[in-house]
Structure 1
Amino acid sequence: MKLTVVGGGSTYTPELIDGFARLRDTLPIEELVLVDPAAERLELVGGLARRIFARQGHPGRIVTTSDLDAGVEGADAVLLQLRVGGQAARQQDETWPLECGCVGQETTGAGGLAKALRTVPVVLDIAERVRRTNPNAWIIDFTNPVGIVTRALLQAGHKTVGLCNVAIGFQRKFAGLLGVSPADVHLDHVGLNHLTWETGVRLGGPEGENVLPKLLAEHGEAVADDLRLPRTIVDRLGVVPSYYLRYYYAHDEVVRELRTKPSRAAEVAEMERQLLTMYSDPALDEKPELLAQRGGAYYSEAAVDLAASLLGGGGSPYQVVNTYNKGTLPFLPDDAVIEVQAAIGSNGPSPLPVPAVDPLYAGLMANVTAYEDLALEAALRGGRDRVFRALLSHPLVGQYEYADALTDQLIAHNREHLAWA
């Protein structure tokens, strides 16, 4: 089996490599190719990757290359984890929206739109080259904003599944609180990427006992603390919102916080400098503890599970993925990309039935789905008016004065990445 990681020079990659090494019986990789245009970073990450494989006795071969076409040739699956513009672009995404009193964040709001506009054309070009070289390869998208990027790929006819680590993070957290194995925890997970709610926590599978009320009664404070929301709000909702919902439920509070502390991008950039120094040590043969602070917890386990199931291996029968709605949520268009539990097989994901969704959540999903429609149109066709329409539709913007000002800022900060600007 050959697997290719595009964006393989990311400081995330050793987390992925560690999972590939530990879970080699689930996903028996013979050749792993790391593709990245940043040759110096790629050399450091590739060296550590080979040492991790060697330490854990993995027999697979690791290849590094800046040649995308060569890297994806013959691959059974291609995993996308790239960041167009790097941490410098992320720093901008997280700062200029604050000037208008809007959340500055890399995957939602105005910053998330900027990232989508930079990313979608690049990802579509990569996918076309994968299709020319190897039309049967699965494309697993971990590149944010996952919902919009996955929809762009699906609309272009690619064999694609979107992946996020929010659900597996909740699964592991809840398993620890309940004192059970993560494999015994099945989430009733519903929404869009970075806009999801856990409406049930079941033991043993989709038909298992729903222990969410018990979980909130006994561990509600710990859950609320992780979300950085008041316990009373979580209790009133009766569900567990993704931590990304704090940008909606406590928008003004978040803006005040973001204006008084260094950006997450600045923190990550400093962390990356330290990690790359560590990766250059020829004695290092395991992922460093600092990597846990970088983000992407359990990403490797989720990626292995999904790839194994798509390629006919031993992955879990049900996994949370991003895929076409196709009637699963009747209040959204069939071609909306939703994030739900699905049965995964060699033909791709089949979403499980979802009980009727509370209007409190369905309304916000419908609003953000409309935004994602407009965002994808702006990413594919360009133009100031399309950017303005997307921003005006977003519930974290929503006022024409803000949308106008943010449109000008977005274009000014991203001109080098926008072919039409």
Structure 2
Amino acid sequence: MKVAVIGGGSSYTPELVNGFLERVDSFPLKELWLMDILPERLEIVGKFAQRMVKAMGAPFEVHLTTDQREAVRNANYVTTQLRVGWMQARREDEYLGRRHGLIGQETTGIGGMAKALRTIPVILKIAYDMQELAAPGALLVNFTNPAGLVTEALSRYATNVQAVGVCNAPITTKMNILQRLEEVGLKVEPEQAELDTLGLNHLTWHRGFRIDGEDVWPQVMGSYIKSLRNGEMDDWDVRTIETLQMIPNGYLQYFYYTDKKIATQEKWPPSRAERVMEIEKGLFAQYAEPDRTVPPEGLMQRGGAYYSTVATQLLNAHYNDLGETHIVNTAHRGAVEGWPTDWVLEIPCKVNRSGITPLPAKPLPMACFGLLAQIKAYEILTVEAAVHGDRKAAYEALLTHPLGPAADQVQAVLDDLLTTHRAYLPQFN
């Protein structure tokens, strides 16, 4: 079996390699191909990955390449974890938002739109190379942000390639709930628990939790609201959570508490991108240590907790036809009654060799659906803008987004975006 990792020079790669090493008994990987367009990063990360694998008895080979087509040729699985423009572009996205009085964030608002416009054409090219060169039935697993928006593009413009978008947020929520239950005396293994969540990537509402099929959501919510009341955490205001009786994805804070988030930006530097740049300097120095064979503890500071768990569990379920439930991004195809069937949602799905099948899900209440529908309209317009270099669609997308600028400022913000990232937006030139 061959797995290709596009963006193999990422600081996340050692965690992914570790995940494959932990699953060699059930997931018979033979060739892991790490592809990156930056040879110097690929050399550091790739050599470290090779040492990691060798230290575990070399159960599979690790190949390094800067040739995307070579990487995907005959691949059974292709994962994407790339960043067009690298971390410097993320920093530009953050400060693009700030200088216009908007949210400046990697996946949300103007920053997320800028990243999507840069990223979608690159991911589609990977899908088209897979269609030509990959093994029959190959699966594309996209981790690249904004994951839902990228998957929306794949669903609409790479229909001959099986693709799914993945995020670590659902499993992180699940593990946090399990930790909370353990603190009150109920220890549960992750495989016993099932999270019910629905929405878009980074725009989901968690609304149910089962242990061995038994609903324990009332206990979860009771404990959560108690912690909010006691001041143990300040993620949300109590009234909102009591009203919704759901736990929103953390990124919904940008929508629910926009003024607070914008005020926080005024304290930059450092922005998140600037902090990550410093973290990665340390990580790459450690990766380059010639005797290192295990990932450094500092990798957890990078973010992306449970990334390798999500990735390898999904691939393992698909390869071994397990029929497990995983929360992923895919077109729901009627699983949510009354919603357009072609919408890509973050939704529980059954995963086996025949594919990714969304499970029937109850629609969200109107208080959540209104925001979701508005963001989905923005996403569809952004896909059209990214694929066709359509400035009108880009204008409409920014006009539609609830975190966008005032109508009479849309053109100025859009012009700034297109100028700032001109080098990575050839479709608009």
Q: When the two structures are superposed, what TM-score results if normalisation uses the length of structure 1?
A: 0.95
Match of 1:165 in 2: 168
Match of 1:141 in 2: 142
Match of 2:65 in 1: 65
Give the counterpart of 1:300 among 308, 313, 318.
Answer: 308
- Secondary structure of 2:421 counterpart: helix
Match of 2:130 in 1: 130
1:385 aligns with 2:375: no
1:338 aligns with 2:339: no
Corresponding letter in the other structure for 2:223: E
Match of 2:6 in 1: 6
Give the counterpart of 2:288 among 249, 274, 280.
Answer: 280
In structure 1, C-alpha distance between the alignment counterparts of 2:388 and 2:363, rounded to whole Å? 35
Give the counterpart of 1:215 among 217, 220, 233.
Answer: 220
**How far 1:401 sits from its partner (Å)?**
2.6
- Contact 2:337 2:363 (C-alpha < 8 Å) held by counterparts: no
**How far 1:383 sits from its partner (Å)?**
3.4
- Contact 1:227 1:243 (C-alpha < 8 Å) held by counterparts: no
Moved more, 257-266 or 213-222: 213-222
- Contact 1:152 1:376 (C-alpha < 8 Å) held by counterparts: yes
- Contact 1:140 1:162 (C-alpha < 8 Å) held by counterparts: yes
Q: 1:221 to 1:107 in 2, by over 3 A?
A: farther
**How far 1:86 sits from its partner (Å)?**
0.3
- Contact 1:227 1:246 (C-alpha < 8 Å) held by counterparts: no
In structure 1, C-alpha distance between the alignment counterparts of 2:110 and 2:233, rounded to whole Å? 25
In structure 2, C-alpha distance between the alignment counterparts of 1:147 and 1:99, rounded to whole Å? 26
- Contact 2:205 2:247 (C-alpha < 8 Å) held by counterparts: yes
Moved more, 239-248 or 350-359: 350-359
In structure 1, C-alpha distance between the alignment counterparts of 2:85 and 2:36, rounded to whole Å? 13
Corresponding letter in the other structure for 2:152: R
- Contact 1:26 1:305 (C-alpha < 8 Å) held by counterparts: no
The Cα RMSD (Å) is: 1.7
In structure 2, C-alpha distance between the alignment counterparts of 1:368 and 1:225, rounded to whole Å? 31
Moved more, 4-13 or 385-394: 385-394
- Contact 1:161 1:348 (C-alpha < 8 Å) held by counterparts: no
In structure 2, C-alpha distance between the alignment counterparts of 1:202 and 1:226, rounded to whole Å? 24
In structure 2, C-alpha distance between the alignment counterparts of 1:382 and 1:219, rounded to whole Å? 45
**How far 1:322 sits from its partner (Å)?**
0.5
**How far 1:406 sits from its partner (Å)?**
1.5
Match of 2:195 in 1: 187
In structure 1, C-alpha distance between the alignment counterparts of 2:227 and 2:18, rounded to whole Å? 29
In structure 2, C-alpha distance between the alignment counterparts of 1:271 and 1:322, rounded to whole Å? 29
**How far 1:13 sits from its partner (Å)?**
0.6
- Secondary structure of 1:199 counterpart: strand
In structure 2, C-alpha distance between the alignment counterparts of 1:51 and 1:15, rounded to whole Å? 13
Q: Number of residue pairs matched?
A: 417
Where structure 1 has 5 or more consecutive residues not aligned to the other structure, the ranges are: none
Q: 1:180 to 1:404 in 2, by over 3 A?
A: same
In structure 2, C-alpha distance between the alignment counterparts of 1:151 and 1:269, rounded to whole Å? 29
Corresponding letter in the other structure for 1:143: T
Where structure 2 has 5 or more consecutive residues not aligned to the other structure, the ranges are: 182-186
In structure 2, C-alpha distance between the alignment counterparts of 1:40 and 1:80, rounded to whole Å? 19
Q: 1:386 to 1:168 in 2, by over 3 A?
A: same
Percent identity, aligned pairs only, is 39
In structure 2, C-alpha distance between the alignment counterparts of 1:402 and 1:210, rounded to whole Å? 48
In structure 1, C-alpha distance between the alignment counterparts of 2:342 and 2:55, rounded to whole Å? 45
Match of 2:184 in 1: none
Corresponding letter in the other structure for 1:239: M
**How far 1:345 sits from its partner (Å)?**
1.3
Q: When the two structures are superposed, what TM-score results if normalisation uses the length of structure 2?
A: 0.93
Which runs of structure 1 show a deviation greater than 4 angstroms over 4 or more consecutive aligned residues? 221-227
1:187-208 deviation per Cα after TM superposition (whole angstroms, max 9, x unaligned):
111001110011101112xxx2
1:317-370 deviation per Cα after TM superposition (whole angstroms, max 9, x unaligned):
100011112112234321110001010111211111112321111111111111
1:259 aligns with 2:261: no
**How far 1:94 sits from its partner (Å)?**
0.8
**How far 1:220 sits from its partner (Å)?**
3.6
Moved more, 16-25 or 262-271: 16-25
- Contact 1:27 1:313 (C-alpha < 8 Å) held by counterparts: no
- Contact 1:76 1:311 (C-alpha < 8 Å) held by counterparts: no
Match of 1:312 in 2: 320
